[in-house]
A and B are shown apart, each in its own frame.
Chain A
């Protein structure tokens, strides 16, 4: 009828994918989710160029710094020698840059040397049992205002006003079950140990002179960061700040979160690919074969559905090692059941369509029909399941690293978001004073999962409008 000219909206002039994209664009939450997910993925990929910090580099002398706190830019141990150009890793970044800019500079470091005494602290069941200093035993040991204690070798600073038998030795001192001994340094910084180190850099980038308290030094000069009171380059303090703070080992939280995103997203994508591949092929074969094969294959799925899966994943990881590949396999094995069921249903209805008969008449083999015609037609479902499976897998991976099954890469644990949350939870402190260690990794993870879920829901609605509003 001429009276109702169809609106351009209703014309199916585009393919189904273009239409789905149109519907998705109208869904504001899903689009916001898409933007967040893309931003997160992008910053994870570009992490090394976004943050100037290495997630594993420890600035131990700082301890946990609140977000945005400005502090001296140092490196753990600064090494200079007259007549040599300083190596970049031996001096602060600002000094390293200044050395190669072709001008002369003066780098001054105010040092206050420390006097240390070694303590032997025996801990049993979380409580201090013994405090030994040389031959003496203490029951209580007050730590004065100008003193602090530090775990030897580990370098982590422990902030307690008093050490007492029966009390606790808080993190970052090692916290393990059972009886063990921690070697602790008690550090004192007497005022008379103050001195100024002055390093002159020439135009060729080499160190021209090094003086300590006015006395020239020949040969190597080493200064440990924890003894530095102040430092300046040409009279200006060398400072920097960590936008999201640092953890108790002095590692940059932003770098840790972004590098954690890498592993979390990588595991999410690869394990999803594994599980969907298994699911689609299993479901397609069951649906296409039909009859007894189908019944048997679906019964297997029923049995597997009833299993408490995460237990098997844990056993798998513990038994075969916590490598990345094992993790992909273990998590991929968990998530394939639902896609298998749905794809089977789709194939069952697709194979009764005319185009299948047409292909059969044209002499196509069953495999060609399955791979050329049937499986491509289930791609809508696959896309929806991809966006819904990725967050599920990220959740599971984080769960595993949270309970202590961190992925090992060349024997080193890689900290994904779950491990960061676990670390942050343990490092909160008695009044939650180090909140940023928990809040930022938790926020990054929640935001990503939230966005992925919204995107998945939006895609489901866009690709299958009839299902809208379910569950």
Chain B
């Protein structure tokens, strides 16, 4: 396991370096500089500005300077917002983006896993057909369509939720703490006494389910407390919930048909134990390997959702920076998102290793 994790960790800087290099050279190769759009600038001032940002230096020196800066945690100045550095802009924007991304991911996981599992266990039931139709729809229709449609239906026509903006309130969190304590207490009860015929104490699946349950509680409490976040979160979560539900259902169906599930039934285990202990671990693997791409998708989706709902996150910042050629800001966001993505992929790989012993001992 140690070697496996180590190999994964060594992989990270390589991917990040390729990403930074690719973005940097794409930008540097492009005709025109960041200030060429500003018509009123005289050649001397332009030269001065280029000199100030070392844009007149040879490309390798610029690249070395940039990478050196990144290694020291300095992402450089912003050309457009001359009073702020890229670090400051990102520090302001990362809160909303991560908040929204986290809520959406938790919602997608909770809804997708539960719907997929029930769909597989009760195959061909009304629930199965219903949830899979919704999931197929959610997967095919992009979030820049669902978002505006949700706005049209729920915010403009029905006026059930606010249209846009970003406003988080943690006022309801005391309630969440109480609910969480209750869940934990019940969890401890299960662990001690068992539920049905199973003692849950040694079920790693149950531990993860408990974590997910707590996270969903937190997400839902936040949403109830800040209605402005409801539509963005749902918009962002829908495609991933759909995909996860379908993957989970397919994975569970495949596992439920396996010989070892029949063995488990032949032992006299209850259906809950068979599903939770024997089927879940194998059935969830496709979902786990999808989580890496899913996070990339959440980051891409945030570009759209932040635009639709007017949320001051780094996604919206990126689009504006790209359109105004604010190079260091663009690069900074790519570096930040890339780092988020790569570290999340690491976590996913490690979780996969924990779930599948055959990989761990490879």
Touch A–B, Cβ below 8 Å:
yes
Residue contact B148 to A425, C-beta cutoff 8 Å:
yes
CA of A136 to CA of B145 in the docked complex: distance in angstroms? 45
**In the assembled complex, which residues on chain A have CB atoms less than 8 Å from the CB atom of B18?**
303-304, 307
Chain B interface, number of residues (Cβ within 8 angstroms): 54
Q: With contacts A316-B26, A399-B142 known, is A307 near B338, CB below 8 A?
A: yes
CB contacts under 8 Å to A, within B123-152, are 136-137, 139-142, 144-145, 147-149, 151-152
Q: Render B310-343 as a binary contact track against A, CB cut-off 8 A, 1 for contact.
A: 0000000011001101000010011001100110
Q: Render B183-215 as a binary contact track against A, CB cut-off 8 A, 1 for contact.
A: 000000000000000000000000000000000
Q: With contacts A308-B338, A446-B145 known, is A471 near B246, CB below 8 A?
A: yes
Q: Render A436-471 as a binary contact track against B, CB cut-off 8 A, 1 for contact.
A: 001100100110011001000000000000000111
In the complex, B156 has a CB within 8 A of chain A: yes
Q: How far is the CB of B249 from chain A (nearest CB, A)?
A: 10
In the complex, A422 has a CB within 8 A of chain B: yes
Q: Render B17-34 as a binary contact track against A, CB cut-off 8 A, 1 for contact.
A: 011001100110111000
Q: Render B286-309 as a binary contact track against A, CB cut-off 8 A, 1 for contact.
A: 100000100010011001100110
In the complex, A431 has a CB within 8 A of chain B: yes
Residue contact A319 to B144, C-beta cutoff 8 Å:
no
**In the assembled complex, which residues on chain B have CB atoms less than 8 Å from the CB atom of A399?**
142, 144, 300, 303-304
In the complex, A311 has a CB within 8 A of chain B: yes
Residue contact B144 to A308, C-beta cutoff 8 Å:
no
Residue contact A402 to B341, C-beta cutoff 8 Å:
no
In the complex, A421 has a CB within 8 A of chain B: yes
Residue contact B250 to A391, C-beta cutoff 8 Å:
no
Closest to B249 in A: A471
Residue contact B338 to A318, C-beta cutoff 8 Å:
no
Residue contact B323 to A318, C-beta cutoff 8 Å:
yes
Q: Which interface residue of B23, B318, B325 has the most chain A CB atoms within 10 A? A: B23
| A-side interface size class | 35 or more
Residue contact B30 to A319, C-beta cutoff 8 Å:
yes
Q: With contacts A307-B22, A402-B304, A403-B304 known, is A391 near B140, CB below 8 A?
A: yes
Q: How far is the CB of B313 from chain A (nearest CB, A)?
A: 13
CA of A33 to CA of B300 in the docked complex: distance in angstroms? 28
CA of A108 to CA of B330 in the docked complex: distance in angstroms? 60
Q: How far is the CB of B16 from chain A (nearest CB, A)?
A: 9
Please tell me which one of the listed residues B30, B136, B337 contacts residue A311 in the complex, with CB atoms under 8 A apart.
B337
Please tell me which one of the listed residues B144, B330, B333 contacts residue A421 in the complex, with CB atoms under 8 A apart.
B144
CA of A134 to CA of B11 in the docked complex: distance in angstroms? 68
**In the assembled complex, which residues on chain A have CB atoms less than 8 Å from the CB atom of B323?**
318, 404-405
Residue contact B318 to A311, C-beta cutoff 8 Å:
yes
Q: With contacts A306-B15, A399-B144, A402-B144 known, is A319 near B149, CB below 8 A?
A: no
Q: How far is the CB of A471 from chain B (nearest CB, A)?
A: 5
CA of A421 to CA of B141 in the docked complex: distance in angstroms? 12
Closest to B296 in A: A308
Residue contact B341 to A306, C-beta cutoff 8 Å:
yes
Instruction: Give me 17 other A-B pairs in contact (C-beta within 8 A), A429-B156, A471-B247 excluded.
Output: A303-B18, A306-B11, A306-B15, A310-B303, A311-B23, A311-B334, A311-B337, A315-B26, A315-B330, A399-B144, A399-B300, A403-B304, A425-B151, A431-B157, A432-B157, A469-B250, A471-B250
Q: Which residues of A contact B (CB under 8 A)?
A: 303-304, 306-312, 314-316, 318-320, 391, 395, 398-399, 402-405, 418, 421-422, 424-425, 428-432, 435, 438-439, 442, 445-446, 449-450, 453, 469-471
What are 23 pairs between A and B in contact, CB < 8 Å? A308-B19, A308-B341, A311-B23, A312-B23, A314-B319, A391-B140, A402-B307, A404-B319, A405-B322, A421-B145, A425-B147, A425-B151, A430-B156, A438-B149, A438-B152, A439-B149, A442-B148, A446-B140, A449-B140, A449-B142, A450-B140, A469-B253, A471-B246
